[in-house]
Chain A
Amino acid sequence: MWKYLLEKEFKQFFRDPGLPRMSLMFPVLMMLVFPFAVSMEIRNINLAVVDSSRSEESSRLIEKCISSGYFRLVSVCGSPDEAMRLMDDNKADAILTVGSDFSRDMETGDGLPVGVKVNTVNGTKGSISAQYLQNCIRMYMSGRNDSGTAGMPGIDVTERYYFNSYMDYKLFMIPALIVIGITMITAFLPAMNIVSEKETGTIEQMNVTPVSKSAFIICKMVPYWTVAFFVLTACLLLAWAVFGFVCRGNALWLYLYTTLDIIVMAGLGLLISNYSSNTQQAMFVIWFFAVIFMLMSGIFTPIASMPEWAQAITYLNPMRYYADAIRAVYIKGSTPLDVWYDAAGLAAIGAVMVGWAIASYRKSS
């Protein structure tokens, strides 16, 4: 009996016009397109310069900024107002103002005759631009001091990035993308599948057969679990083949945490399908959860920088634990002993979800 139920689900899966292609395209897109698209590295910042000093010193500073590769010089303006206008017209993202006393002040070391203004309509871009600009200025200063004459006692700060030595954003995002993909596949696709059986009435026909409901539901989910593990494997292989990234830790732990996540998501998927009577409703609920899961998981923005009430919410988000664990294992080489709390979080949420889902499923019959 189980064999036939499974056979039917797989048959339907492969006959679906979209699903098989989607499960192939998913890892490819996730690994080859998204890491570039979601990169937080900011390049091509449009820079306007107001150079009141017009000295050799100031032009060397400007050159230093441009040669960093992050900035594109839009124009050298005569007045601050002109530069402001450029920013208002969205032609400049940042303005560097060099005071008229620049070269003299540099000699004496008084004050800071350099101003930085950034456009923070896009907050991330703004703060990163400001940081880059400051870095360039600091580098210029220290460069001057090295060769310099009456130099200031510069503090030499060197940074070293652990686990991701080049601060490669792709390495940071790849495990997160895997997390998003697996969650979508294992929670939302089965939910849609079950709801669509509800909609077409086939579930009714199934319920008058001697097949138990649990057997029916489990057989419905198995194809998606298979796909999830396929996607995970394909992503790991692609990340290695294309970017040369390998999992620092034992890849087995990735599979372990994925299994845990799948259990949580199976519960969530069943819950959604129990409470929605048509695919439209289900879609909306799914969309709601997907957005919350992603934004409150620490995937894009660090949880530590959220306000406390928001941090409290993240504790209810299974993706928080899953993403944290996968990143730790993949980038840092952690073992489940190091991130046991992620396993505990997933297990706790999973127990509640699955319990609730089964209870509400029984009641709906």
Chain B
Amino acid sequence: MDMNAIEIEGISKSYGSVQALRDISLQVRCGEIFGLIGPDGAGKTTLFRIMTTLMLPDAGRGRVSGLDIVEDFALIRRTIGYMPGRFSLYQDLTVRENLEYFATLFGTTVRDNYENIKEIYSQIEPFGDRRAGKLSGGMKQKLALCCALVHRPSVLFLDEPTTGVDAVSRKDFWNMLARIKASGVTIFVSTPYMDEAALCDRLALIRDGVIIGAGTPREIVSGFPFRLLSVKGDRMYRLLKVLRDTDGVISCFSFGDSHHLTYDPAKTDREKILGILTEAGFGGCIVKEIEPGIEDCFMWLSKR
């Protein structure tokens, strides 16, 4: 299977005078977890709505599972699962009724697909008669995932599934995604949390409707041209000022109990900075090289 699960090219969309998406192109391979990372308002949901046939793009073409997102919309709807960012199942129907309802709409039954959702559904099955509106946040999320999976979709679209979910549940959720992926489903997921980016096979960074970077997390991090230092010492505020004035330093921010400093390796290095600090009377500083994260890359890419 070397066919791509999702291929989009040159997608643009405006709402009135606001351009939400600008010339977006992406390829998602079959069976991978692809992350769309970006802050609120970057255009993630708009892109989701176009890919899930809920909205027409102004320009550009796209295929999901080899089907055109405009012409074959009816067929795409049978082959994808979509979980919108907001919990949008019927709150006044019970857990079981919701699941059965969505199974029926896709012309199948819960029993036929029980194996497919068993792992997740078994966790909420004891509450089968409870109305969906009365479930806790984590359980709602599991129910929504079950409903999106009940018809054995080949591509699963998850729009900010972990927004507003606690850290433990988020970890749980990513474990579930890994297992869904193992069953052969391609997963397209968006998130505003940079720490989740590392859990994706490949990702795209989006900002103001433009893709500013794409690739595996490793590729993105290795594209970062600067180096990072963590600096810790006495008189932190004065230290920050001195570091910012140092030649070759791109930026410096306080980060917890230390300062994170970005420098251009062409102009300076760790030894030089240490020397400058000692000269300025900041002897005994702990200066460590650190690995840049996706967030650092995102910041840099979005400034470029």
State the A residues within 8 Å of B (CB). 1, 4-5, 8, 11-12, 15-16, 200-202, 204-211, 365
Say whether, besides A1-B107, A4-B101, A201-B84, A208 and B77 are in contact (CB < 8 Å).
Answer: yes
Min Cβ gap A360→B in Å is 16
CA distance A15 to B132 in the complex (A): 13
| Cβ-closest chain B residue relative to A201 | B88
Given A4-B105, A209-B77, A209-B102, 13 more A-B residue pairs with CB atoms under 8 Å apart are A4-B101, A4-B104, A201-B84, A201-B87, A202-B90, A204-B88, A205-B82, A205-B147, A207-B54, A209-B105, A210-B74, A210-B105, A210-B106
Mask of B64-91 contacts with A, CB within 8 angstroms, 1/0: 0000000000100110101010111111
Q: Residues of B within 8 Å of A, CB-based: how many?
A: 25
User: Are B77 and A210 closer than 8 Å at their CB atoms?
Assistant: yes
Q: Which of B33-74 contact A (CB under 8 A)?
A: 52-54, 74
The distance in angstroms between the C-alpha atoms of A200 and B93, with both chains bound, is 14
Tally A-B pairs: CB < 8 A.
58
Please determine whether B89 and A202 come into contact, CB atoms closer than 8 angstroms: yes
- In the complex, which residues of chain A have a beta carbon less than 8 angstroms from the beta carbon of B89? 202, 205
Out of B78, B88, B147, name the residue touching A210 (CB < 8 Å): B78
Inter-subunit contact B91/A211 (CB<8 Å): no
Give chain B nearest CB distance to A359 CB in angstroms: 16
B97, CB-defined interface residue at 8 Å: yes
Kindly list chain B residues whose C-beta atoms are within 8 Å of the C-beta of A208: 52-54, 77, 80, 82
A6 to chain B, nearest CB (A): 12
Tell yes or no: B247 within 8 A of A by CB: no
Chain A, Cβ-Cβ closest to B82: A208
A-B contact list, 30 entries, CB within 8 Å: A1-B104, A1-B105, A4-B104, A8-B90, A8-B93, A8-B101, A11-B97, A12-B90, A12-B92, A15-B92, A200-B86, A201-B88, A202-B88, A204-B54, A204-B84, A204-B88, A205-B82, A205-B84, A205-B102, A205-B147, A206-B105, A207-B54, A208-B54, A208-B77, A208-B82, A209-B102, A209-B105, A210-B74, A210-B105, A210-B106
Contacts of A365 in B (CB 8 A): 54
In the complex, what's the smallest C-beta–C-beta distance from B239 to chain A, in angstroms?
A: 49
Chain A: minimal CB distance from B133 (Å): 10
Most central of A5, A8, A206 by chain B CB within 10 Å: A8
Inside 8 A of A16's CB, which chain B residues have their CB? 92
- B87, chain A: closest CB distance, angstroms: 8
CA distance A12 to B131 in the complex (A): 11
Chain A positions within 8 Å of B54 at CB level: 204, 207-208, 365
Closest 9 CB pairs of A and B: A201-B88, A209-B105, A4-B104, A208-B82, A205-B88, A201-B86, A202-B88, A15-B92, A210-B77
Residues of B within 8 A of A211 (CB): 105
A200 x B84 contact (CB < 8 A):
no
List of A residues within 8 angstroms of B91 by Cβ: 200
Chain B residues, CB < 8 A from A5: 105
Q: Which residue of A lies closest to B86 (CB)?
A: A201
* Minimal beta-carbon separation of B150 from chain A (angstroms): 11
Interface centre among A5, A12, A206, A210 (most CB of B within 10 A): A210
What's the Cα separation between A207 and B89 when bound, in Å?
12
Max chain A C-beta neighbours (<10 A), residue from B54, B84, B89, B92: B92
Query: Shortest Cβ distance from B187 into chain A, in angstroms?
Result: 16
Which of B84, B87, B97, B106 is in CB contact (< 8 Å) with A209? B106
A360, B91: Cα distance in complex, Å: 28
What residues of B have a CB within 8 angstroms of the CB of A210 in the complex?
A: 74, 77-78, 105-107
> Inside 8 A of A1's CB, which chain B residues have their CB?
104-105, 107
When distances are taken between beta carbons in the complex, the residues of chain B under 8 Å from A201 are 84, 86-88
Query: Which residues from chain A contact B107 at a C-beta distance below 8 Å?
Result: 1, 210
Q: Report chain A residues within 8 Å CB of B86.
A: 200-201
Contacts of A12 in B (CB 8 A): 90, 92-93
In Å, the complex CA distance between A201 and B93 comes to 15
Whole-angstrom CA separation of A333 from B84 in the bound complex: 56
Q: Which residue of B lies closest to A209 (CB)?
A: B105
B39 to chain A, nearest CB (A): 21
B112 nearest CB across to chain A (Å):
15
- Bound together, the chains give a CA A209 to CA B52 distance in angstroms of 10
Chain A residues contacting B84 (CB-CB under 8 Å) are 201, 204-205
**In the assembly, what is the distance between CA of A12 and CA of B93, in Å?**
7
List chain A residues, Cβ under 8 A from B74: 210
Closest Cβ of chain A: how far from B81's Cβ, in Å? 8
- In the complex, what distance in Å separates the CA atom of A210 from the CA atom of B81? 11
Interchain CA distance A207-B93 in the complex, whole Å: 18
